[in-house]
Chains A and B, each alone.
Chain A
Amino acid sequence: MNDFVIQFEQVTKTYTLCSHVSGGIKTFLFHLPDAIRQLRNNRFTALDSVSFAVAAGESLGVIGPNGAGKSTTLALIAKVLAPTAGRVTARGRVLPLLELGAGFHPELAGRENIVLNGVLMGLTRAEVFARMDPIIEFSELGPFIDQPVRTYSTGMLGRLGFSVVANLDPEVLLVDEVLTVGDMAFQAKCMARMRQFQTQGVTMVFVSHDMHAVRTVCDRALWLERGRVRMIGDSAAVTAAYEASQPAPAAAEAAQ
């Protein structure tokens, strides 16, 4: 089993639905018995005994409707969340490609944010500094790299975020629907870089609603629905089945 970089074994993840708790201390204390019962029983199952494995160098697309458990899956791989039951294995340097500017501080310059982002992702400062030039070069931000990030456009934030992750030598790359920003040229550059990763043997998990992108980037696809594996296999077959299952407008749109 050692050739699997990511492995989910009967993974279940439940969240507490806690209206009494999030309603504040007063509500919690005044309804203490209720609240405790609620804490015990009222749980939302985001993933329900999900099992799959991703081999080294493989690219897995994760698709499914909103609330299917896609982001939970990524969070489990990134070890941000721990499974309620089952076992999650992820080997190597797992790097999440953050959604727009999630790891950036608006007041800091692009260059400073690169360092901050790099150390947050698990590199030492020396390792980040060694990669500074390729990161800046890849981002094509030019003189803006020394401007505070709050002055950046959405596209520029996307560029910076992708550039950081793309140059930190990920072994497992987690991509959560972020490549839709940036102009066509930069998107093409990202796609090219992701293919380069694939040839270098980087394992990728790619969450997207863009079936075309999933087919292009991924070898295999995992279709989640209400926390369960609906289908897993060849990305063309799974995306086709997913599109076929969608109501008419979406299917018609996809067919175009």
Chain B
Amino acid sequence: MIRWRYQFDLVYELTKKELKVRYKSSVLGYLWSILNPLALAGVFYVGLGLIVGVKGDDRHPFWLTLICGMFPWQWFFNSVNACTNVYVGNANLIRKVAFRRELLPLATVLNDLIHFAVSIPVIVAFLLVAGGGPSAHWLYGVPLLMLAQLIMVYALGLIAGTLNVLFRDLSNLVAIFLTMLFYVTPIIYSLDHGPIAARIAPYRGWILLNPAAAVVAGWKALLLDGRFDAGYWAMAMVYALVALGVAQVVHARLRGSLTEAA
């Protein structure tokens, strides 16, 4: 079907554009998508690890759990944050050309997926330094978790991007909301191991109401322990599909107003 071919080509070109443009005039280029999460992990390592004295769980050093949580989180954060402005930022295009609107956030999210994928070898390098490494479960675990997270961030991004056209305050609210989400996502702590996990055990259910928590916990189980946690993955997948359903409804209802208000 030629139409499918065309939609595919459009996503391909939009994603390629994003990839080319993001670090176009910076010296370090792609390295930034690795340096950013590493720097953040470094900040928390110094602040929480060295100063406050947070220790890792009984199996892994604190810095390694930070790194394994930070990369998937940065993908989540960057995608949802960027998608919030995807329609407002492309208003001139939307007002003139009738292409499928969903493809704009899809391209943004795919772009972040690629950045995440190329940073996996860096994560592996840190694992090797700590005496660990990839396991055979990665072969299916990585693609499955990527799929769940891709659907999840696309859906959340589509909702945020669409609503932001009508309520411009949303871009600020999303940034604040994501910062809050960071702390109820098991990045600087673990849900499963160590003293912090024991202390927050009563709130575990509440924390897992956060869709990012399920997917990041899944990543940490896979990256740190080489274990594919089917429970976390299934939970993430359910969140992702529910969000996708909501996104379709929201976007379909507001598609018309999108062009008028953009």
Write the residues of chain A forming the contact surface with B, with a CB cutoff of 8 angstroms.
Answer: 15-16, 21-22, 24-26, 28, 75, 78-82, 96, 98-99, 102-103, 105, 107-108, 112, 115-116, 119-125
Q: Which residues of A contact B170 (CB under 8 A)?
A: 25
- Taken together as a complex, chains A and B put the C-alpha atoms of A26 and B6 apart, in Å, by 41
- Taken together as a complex, chains A and B put the C-alpha atoms of A233 and B170 apart, in Å, by 48
- Taken together as a complex, chains A and B put the C-alpha atoms of A116 and B261 apart, in Å, by 24
Interface string of B206-227 (1 = CB under 8 A from A): 0000000000000000000000
Q: Which residues of B contact A99 (CB under 8 A)?
A: 92, 96
Can you offer 23 A-B residue contacts whose CB atoms are under 8 A? A24-B169, A75-B95, A75-B259, A78-B98, A80-B96, A80-B97, A81-B256, A99-B96, A103-B97, A105-B17, A105-B21, A107-B21, A107-B25, A108-B20, A116-B13, A116-B14, A116-B17, A119-B9, A119-B13, A122-B99, A124-B6, A125-B12, A125-B13
Interface assignment of B35: CB less than 8 Å from any CB of chain A: no
Interface assignment of B203: CB less than 8 Å from any CB of chain A: no
Q: Which residues of B contact A107 (CB under 8 A)?
A: 20-21, 24-25
Interface string of B141-183 (1 = CB under 8 A from A): 0000000000000000000000000111110010000000000
6 nearest interchain CB pairs?
A125-B9, A79-B98, A102-B92, A107-B24, A25-B169, A119-B10
A80 interface neighbour in B5, B17, B95, Cβ under 8 Å: B95
Q: In this complex, what residue of B is CB-closest to A122?
A: B6
Q: Which residues of A contact B20 (CB under 8 A)?
A: 107-108, 112
Interface assignment of B197: CB less than 8 Å from any CB of chain A: no
- Taken together as a complex, chains A and B put the C-alpha atoms of A112 and B256 apart, in Å, by 30
- Taken together as a complex, chains A and B put the C-alpha atoms of A108 and B17 apart, in Å, by 8
Contact B24 A102 (CB under 8 A): no
- Taken together as a complex, chains A and B put the C-alpha atoms of A185 and B52 apart, in Å, by 71
- Taken together as a complex, chains A and B put the C-alpha atoms of A96 and B96 apart, in Å, by 7
Residues of B210-262 whose CB lies within 8 A of A:
256-257, 259-261
Contact B97 A121 (CB under 8 A): yes
- Taken together as a complex, chains A and B put the C-alpha atoms of A15 and B257 apart, in Å, by 9
B-side interface size class: 20 to 34
Interface string of B8-28 (1 = CB under 8 A from A): 011011100100110011000
9 further contact pairs, Cβ within 8 A, besides A78-B98, A98-B97: A24-B168, A25-B169, A78-B97, A81-B256, A102-B96, A107-B20, A121-B97, A122-B6, A123-B6
Q: Which of A79, A107, A121, A124 has the most CB of B within 10 A?
A: A124
Interface assignment of B51: CB less than 8 Å from any CB of chain A: no
Contact A120 B259 (CB under 8 A): no
Q: Which residues of B contact A78 (CB under 8 A)?
A: 96-98
Q: Which residues of B contact A115 (CB under 8 A)?
A: 13
- B16: shortest Cβ distance to chain A, in Å? 8
- B207: shortest Cβ distance to chain A, in Å? 27
Interface assignment of B94: CB less than 8 Å from any CB of chain A: yes
- Taken together as a complex, chains A and B put the C-alpha atoms of A81 and B9 apart, in Å, by 24
Contact B5 A124 (CB under 8 A): yes
Interface assignment of B114: CB less than 8 Å from any CB of chain A: no
- Taken together as a complex, chains A and B put the C-alpha atoms of A28 and B166 apart, in Å, by 11
- Taken together as a complex, chains A and B put the C-alpha atoms of A124 and B9 apart, in Å, by 6
- Taken together as a complex, chains A and B put the C-alpha atoms of A120 and B107 apart, in Å, by 13
Interface assignment of B93: CB less than 8 Å from any CB of chain A: yes
- Taken together as a complex, chains A and B put the C-alpha atoms of A15 and B259 apart, in Å, by 11
- A58: shortest Cβ distance to chain B, in Å? 22
Contact B93 A108 (CB under 8 A): no
Q: In this complex, what residue of B is CB-closest to A82?
A: B256
Assuming the A-B contacts A105-B17, A112-B20, are A80 and B6 also in contact, with contact meaning beta carbons closer than 8 angstroms in the complex?
no
- Taken together as a complex, chains A and B put the C-alpha atoms of A121 and B6 apart, in Å, by 10
Q: Which of B12, B95, B170, B261 has the most CB of A within 10 A?
A: B95
Q: Which residues of B contact A124 (CB under 8 A)?
A: 2, 5-6, 9
- Taken together as a complex, chains A and B put the C-alpha atoms of A120 and B261 apart, in Å, by 20
